[in-house]
Amino acid sequence: MSSCLLRWLSLNAESCQLVTDVRSTSVSTPSHLIQPLICTQAISTLKTVVPGNTPNRRFDVASEVSGRFKAAGFLRYRQVFLTSLPLVFGDFVALVLCYLLGTSAANWLLDSPIFYPGLWNNLTALCLCHFMLGSFLGLFPASGINPVCELRDQISSISGSFLVLVALNGLVGVVTTNEVVTIFVAFPLILIAGPCLRFAARRACAKSRWWGEKVIIVGNGRQGKLVYEFLNRMPQRGLKPVGMVDDNPGEYWISDEAVPIEFLGNTSDLVEICRRNRCHWVIAAVSDKSEAAIQEILWQGSLIPNLVVLSTNMQTPSLWVESFDVAGLTGVHIRDRLLCPLQKAVKRLSDIVLSTAILIACAPMLIVIAAWIKLKSPGPIFFRHHGRIGRNGVRFGAFKIRTMMVNAEAKLQEYLDSNPAAQAEWKRDLKLKDDPRVIPGIGNFLRRTSLDELPQVLNVLIGEMSLVGPRPIYTDIEIEKFHDHYPLYLRVRPGLTGIWQVSGRNNTSYEDRVRLDCYYVRNWSLWLDYFILLRTIRTVLFREGSY
């Protein structure tokens, strides 16, 4: 038994990339978020051996398939190269454009030449540094990565590249005022342009057959179905499912989205199936597997370049977790960032600074909106919606621009009494797609663009809300819909925007909203807030999920 264990560990150390993270359960994966697929189940011993898989046979099979995978190595790296190419191109374009905008700003401020001596040397050094740091952080090709983690790694790589550029210029003694202004202008621009262009590159290549890496799903249970449909729905992640592998397929699941799912074979043939399909990724859904079956999957997976084992624990965070070795056992180290005073202080400071800037920048627009409402409907322009529930259960009044008629509640009741379908919609979602209370024209416009909630920056300044957080709730019915997750909601301030608003918004059910808000609280970080703020810009511009 010890020799079998040593051989398994040796093979695993040489050829397996086992990702260990955790999946959040009560929270299904949001459509845009990169949920990392992970494993928290520690493997303590290799107990029973699957019949027919003796140590000698396993050693022979390992030698044979390892040789086959090495022979197919060119195809693997070719696919990695093709998947990385658009991302590298997008990052380089963002770096060059933002740096040239910085030199243009320096030209305008200092009357210096745009194409100054050393410009192309700086651009070359910047791009090369980003490529090397990005490769080290796994940004190329970053297949299957959660977009929040990708954002963190991309910003880290860009920041490091700018620091290296400054250090190199300092060493050769050529740091000029022109370069200082260029960097001060270019760096903030790249923090926005870089993620946007990378997202655009992923979306542009998502459905191309030459882009992305193939992945096989092991397991035909609920987890396997969830992963298969998610990856099919989100091809921009870079992992494209080929089919399903399981020992007992039976009447295996059919996709709710009518996506054809191919049964590829049994677990014992997993390595050969991967080789035949030129697939170097396997995601194993082991929640309904026996220990012997899990051991077989792990042994087979040790001969595959990338194995991801899904967690059976459904109540833990899925972002910002790390593998943790304890006495040779695989554990997961979870840090709750809501317990970190420094990160919470940075979030509060960011709320104050950004809210003040938004209020000043949007003041002229608020004046125009106020005049428009006054012309269309008599009554107050602003109102305060009292009874909203904040952090720790403290009630507050949310500032809003009035988008409804003065006699709104009477109109709503009359409409519901005469429309059974609307009654069912109201009971299910606590909102109506065709709301009779809304002021025609201006009211619909403000609600579609979410500009009616702009005055809530005052709530952010006061400290009752945050720029990013769960959607505020205020009724007992809403509290009941949160069920056991209500304490999670109370841990943070409600937000002006949030993960629900950028994940389909009104096109999602209230149950989806609860899951998304729980996901946000469990996985909160400053990076997640920054990601949501960037997505909010896109959501507002394209009016996603609004009515």
35-49, 224-238, 326-340, 415-429: least confident range: 35-49
Mean pLDDT of 308-336: 82
Residue 21's pLDDT is what? 37
Show which of 283, 311, 335 is a domain's final residue: 335
122 close to 165: Cβ distance less than 8 angstroms: yes
The residue that leads in pLDDT, 145 or 320, is 145
Residue 93's pLDDT is what? 97
Residues 152 and 229 grouped into a single domain = no
Show which of 205, 226, 254 is a domain's final residue: 205
Peptide bond into 235 cis (omega under 30): no
Helix (H/G/I), strand (E/B), else coil: 397: strand
- On whether residue 483 sits in a domain, the answer given is yes
**Average pLDDT score, the chain:** 82
- On whether residue 547 sits in a domain, the answer given is no
* pLDDT tens, position by position, 190-232: 999 999 999 999 999 998 999 999 999 998 778 888 888 899 9
User: For residue 72, what pLDDT band results from cuts at 50, 70 and 90?
Assistant: low
Nearest by Cα to 491 from 317, 314, 312: 317
User: For residue 74, what pLDDT band results from cuts at 50, 70 and 90?
Assistant: low
List of residues 6+ apart from 466 with CB closer than 8 A = 347, 348, 351, 460, 492, 493, 494, 495, 496
Residues 322 and 234 grouped into a single domain = yes
The dihedral through the CA atoms of 180, 185, 188, 193 has a sign that is: negative
Residue 417 has pLDDT above 80, yes or no: yes
- On whether residue 11 sits in a domain, the answer given is yes
Residue 157's pLDDT is what? 97
**Residue 184: how many CA atoms within 13 Å on its side-chain side?**
10
Mean pLDDT of 120-125: 92
CATH of the domain at 275: 3.40.50
Any idea what the Cα angle at residue 315 is, between residues 312 and 319, rounded to 5°?
90
Residue 303 has pLDDT above 80, yes or no: yes
User: For residue 47, what pLDDT band results from cuts at 50, 70 and 90?
Assistant: very low
Helix (H/G/I), strand (E/B), else coil: 459: helix
367 close to 356: Cβ distance less than 8 angstroms: no
Residues 318 and 348 grouped into a single domain = no
Show which of 280, 308, 335 is a domain's final residue: 335
Residues 446 and 538 grouped into a single domain = yes
Peptide bond into 141 cis (omega under 30): yes
- On whether residue 380 sits in a domain, the answer given is yes
Residue 540's pLDDT is what? 82
The residue that leads in pLDDT, 260 or 395, is 395
The residue that leads in pLDDT, 80 or 72, is 80
- The CA distance from 24 to 146, in Å, is 13
Nearest by Cα to 122 from 105, 97, 104, 99: 99
The residue that leads in pLDDT, 493 or 57, is 493
- The CA distance from 212 to 228, in Å, is 15
Residue 184 has pLDDT above 80, yes or no: yes
Residues 450 and 321 grouped into a single domain = no
Task: Give the structural domain span for 249.
Answer: 2-26+37-41+212-335
User: For residue 20, what pLDDT band results from cuts at 50, 70 and 90?
Assistant: very low
- The CA distance from 437 to 452, in Å, is 14
Q: Which two tokens stand for residue 60?
A: 């022979």
The length of the chain in residues reads 547
Residues 21 and 133 grouped into a single domain = no
- On whether residue 127 sits in a domain, the answer given is yes
5-9, 115-119, 171-175, 377-381: least confident range: 5-9
Residue 1's pLDDT is what? 42
Nearest by Cα to 482 from 451, 517, 431: 517
Nearest by Cα to 471 from 510, 444, 433, 432: 510
* pLDDT tens, position by position, 287-297: 767 777 788 88
Residue 546's pLDDT is what? 61
Q: Which two tokens stand for residue 403?
A: 């988008």
Residue 14's pLDDT is what? 39
Mean pLDDT of 481-507: 89
Residues 187 and 125 grouped into a single domain = yes
Residues 395 and 538 grouped into a single domain = yes
**Residue 278: how many CA atoms within 13 Å on its side-chain side?**
12
Mean pLDDT of 92-107: 94
Residue 71 has pLDDT above 70, yes or no: no
Residues 143 and 251 grouped into a single domain = no
- The CA distance from 311 to 200, in Å, is 31
303-317, 318-332, 469-483: least confident range: 303-317
Share of the chain above pLDDT 90, in %: 43
Residues 354 and 460 grouped into a single domain = yes
- On whether residue 276 sits in a domain, the answer given is yes
**What pTM does this model have?**
0.81
- On whether residue 389 sits in a domain, the answer given is yes
Nearest by Cα to 275 from 65, 89, 116: 65
Residues 357 and 506 grouped into a single domain = yes
20-34, 222-236, 428-442, 483-497: least confident range: 20-34
Mean pLDDT of 100-110: 91
10-19, 81-90, 331-340: least confident range: 10-19
* pLDDT tens, position by position, 458-489: 999 999 999 999 999 988 888 888 888 999 99
User: For residue 182, what pLDDT band results from cuts at 50, 70 and 90?
Assistant: very high
Residue 130's pLDDT is what? 97
Q: Which two tokens stand for residue 368?
A: 């125009």
- What is the count of structural domains for the chain? 3
Residues 238 and 117 grouped into a single domain = no
- On whether residue 52 sits in a domain, the answer given is no
Distance of CA 27 to the CA centre of its chain: 13
Strand-pair category, 321-326 with 395-401:
unpaired
Nearest by Cα to 499 from 527, 464, 462: 527
Question: Which stretch of DSSP H or E encloses residue 323?
Answer: strand 321-326
The residue that leads in pLDDT, 338 or 56, is 338
Mean pLDDT of 362-382: 90
Q: Which two tokens stand for residue 174?
A: 């050529």
Residue 315's pLDDT is what? 67
Q: Which two tokens stand for residue 429?
A: 């979602």
